[in-house]
């Protein structure tokens, strides 16, 4: 069985020298926070028609993929 090293025990300089990146820590939002953000975003688009909102949201999804 190979030995493993805890990434937290290695300093940033040593990780850089070894070419090891620390994995990105994922933070998720709760359902209530998600609903709140959705309402805030839709409130900004309140003066747009339904087709305009769809178009803007499709573009936002496209930009988010980059």
Find all residues with CB under 8 Å of 7, minimum gap 6, and list them. Answer: 15, 20, 22, 23
Q: Provide the pLDDT for residue 1.
A: 66
**Model pLDDT for residues 5-43, shown as the tens digit of each residue:** 787 788 888 888 888 887 878 788 899 999 999 999 999
pTM of the model: 0.52
């Amino acid at each position: 069985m190979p030995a493993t090293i805890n990434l937290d025990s290695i300093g940033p300089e040593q990780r850089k020298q070894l070419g090891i990146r620390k994995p990105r820590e994922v933070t998720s939002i709760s359902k209530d926070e998600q609903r709140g953000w959705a309402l805030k975003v839709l409130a900004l688009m309140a003066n747009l028609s339904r087709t305009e909102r769809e178009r803007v949201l499709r573009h936002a999804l496209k930009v988010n993929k980059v």
